[in-house]
Amino acid sequence: MKLMRKERGVFTMGKIQQSYSNDFKIQAVRYMQEQAKTLPEIADELKISVETLYKWKGKYEHFDKQAAAKEDKARQLEQLLKEKEREQIELKEEVAILKKAMHIFGQERN
């Protein structure tokens, strides 16, 4: 019979439980989504149990969706900024043309 011992605040049955950072877990979930490999293959590659990966997927999958939504919003804002910059350039050109026209027409009256 194995004795339970306390390791880093967690009782284990003769095993040391590995702890991972939230960033690592999120990256692992992204990796699972991007790969064409099976979950057992990924688990073997990362040396993590399949059950743990399933838990992480359920817990951290929404973070990836939030990040994707933020990236989409950032792309939309960048596109809007480029459009506004183009508009500003066109308006400056129009103002310059109008100033020249006013100058030309102002000279003809005198």
Rounded-to-integer distance, Cα 10 and Cα 64, Å: 29
Flag whether pLDDT at 98 surpasses 90.
Answer: yes
| pLDDT value for 12 | 53
Tokens of 66: 């939030």
CA 94 to chain centre: 40
Q: Give the number of other CB atoms < 10 A from CB of residue 71.
A: 10
> Considering the entire predicted model, what is its pTM?
0.43
| pLDDT value for 89 | 97
By the 8 A CB rule, do 45 and 34 touch? no
The residue extents of the domains of the chain are 21-102
HSE-CB of 23 using CA atoms within 13 angstroms? 0
By the 8 A CB rule, do 12 and 5 touch? yes
What's the average model confidence in pLDDT over 21-29? 86
